[in-house]
Amino acid sequence: MNGSIITEFVFLDFSCSRSAWFILLTLVLTCYITILLGNMLIMVTVWTEPKLFQCPMYLFLANLSLLDMTLGSVASPKLVTDLLNSGRTISFGGCMAQICSQHFFGGSEMFLLAVMAYDRYVAICHPLRYTTIMNRQHCFGLLIFCWIGGLIHGIFQVAVMALLPYCGANVLDNFYCDITQLIKLACSETYVDEILLIVSDGLLLVPSLLALLVSYAIILATICGRFGKDGSKALSTCSSHLTVVGLFFGPCIFVYLKPSSYSQVDKMASVFYMVVTPALNPLIYTLRNQEVKRAIGKLKNKCQCILVPQRE
């Protein structure tokens, strides 16, 4: 094999004008700051408010925030420094670390979204049995499943990519190490690997999506049957979650499940699900969820007490 050892990869420029560069930089920076602060705020809110901390839905939400924070950190910091400097290389190890963490956290998030849909299904369709079904142990088990499932997925993806024979071409037309791009740099036409990865992605995507769709179909049917006209109220408890699901799966499906001609549009879709979506989730939940809003208000009061010591 004429395989040369690749020690680093080069990211191709976003071919764009100065003003587009500035807009992109501002967008990514704003999103990243929102990712860190917004998700932190949600986690702290859930942890400090006992009423929320006892409710499985908010424990899932805090876990989702943690995942969004880590997923948002896979590509954004590197993208910001790359936009500021013109050096755009990443070491082989760094590239593999990006792949592993992207698929670990992304995979876990997919599972978690499915679990959250199941949680809403139980809450709406079996309200009387909710506390027994969603007890602490059961919740914990579901969360462990999400995290371990994502980890296995990440390790599998990175193992396949690290073992591919690379020939020397090392230019990636993206801003992070994306497997659909990386696989094209392999020497041999390794259809086997491509199939392996697609199967692995499919194993994750399809069951999660099915669980989501089935949960929501049953929820919808139940709401229509049981509540009649009041259904919209019950449905609104799911609407934030549905929005988040759409934002996560939409671009993901767009990039991974279509024929592999790569374009500027795909790159934008990648920016969307690597950078924008993790920033939108906390916004959606804090702006639309009354309980979270109330708890944040309480937290604000508590902080004021700490900052401004009250006179006795």
Ligand X SMILES: *[C@@H]1O[C@H](CO)[C@@H](O)[C@H](O)[C@H]1NC(C)=O
What residues line the site for ligand X (CB under 6 A)?
43, 59, 62-63, 66, 139-140, 143
Closest distance of CB 306 from ligand X, Å: 22
- Looking at the Cβ atoms of 95 and 139, the one nearer to ligand X is 139
Q: How far is the CB of 302 from ligand X (least distance, A)?
A: 19
Whole-Å CA distances, 123 to 54, 99, 119: 15, 36, 6
Joined together, the tokens standing for residue 311 give 């006179």
Which CB atom, from 53 or from 256, has the smaller least distance to ligand X?
53
- How many CA within 13 A on the CB side of residue 119? 25
Residue closer to ligand X by CB (options 63, 289) is 63
* Smallest distance, ligand X to C-beta of residue 146, A: 9
Nearer to ligand X by Cβ, of 21 and 140: the residue is: 140
Q: Which is nearer to ligand X, 90 or 146 (CB)?
A: 146
Question: What Å distances lie between residue 287 and 28, 116, 268, CA to CA?
Answer: 21, 19, 26
Closest C-alpha among 121, 36, 47 to residue 72: 36
Q: Measured at CB, which residue is nearest to ligand X?
A: 62
Angle between helices 18-48 and 264-271 (to 10 degrees): 30
Nearer to ligand X, 62 or 161 (CB): 62
Task: Please report, as a single letter, which amino acid is at residue 107.
Answer: G
- List Cα–Cα distances, 85 to 80, 130, 268, 275, in angstroms: 9, 53, 20, 19
Q: Give the other-Cβ count within 10 Å of 60's Cβ.
A: 24
Shortest Cβ distance from residue 66 to ligand X (Å)? 4
Where does residue 8 fall: left (phi above 0), alpha (psi -120 to 50 degrees), or beta otherwise?
beta
Q: Which is nearer to ligand X, 145 or 262 (CB)?
A: 145
* Torsion from C-alpha of 38, 39, 40, 44, nearest 10 degrees: 110
Cα separation, 85 vs 184, in Å, equals: 27
Q: Alpha-carbon distance 312 to 310, whole Å?
A: 6
The conformation of residue 229, written as its DSSP 8-state character, comes to G
Q: Please state the closest distance from residue 139 (CB atom) to ligand X, in A.
A: 5
**At closest approach, how far in Å is the CB of 141 from ligand X?**
9
Beta partners for residue 184, in sequence order: none
Q: Least distance (Å) from ligand X to the CB of residue 188? A: 43
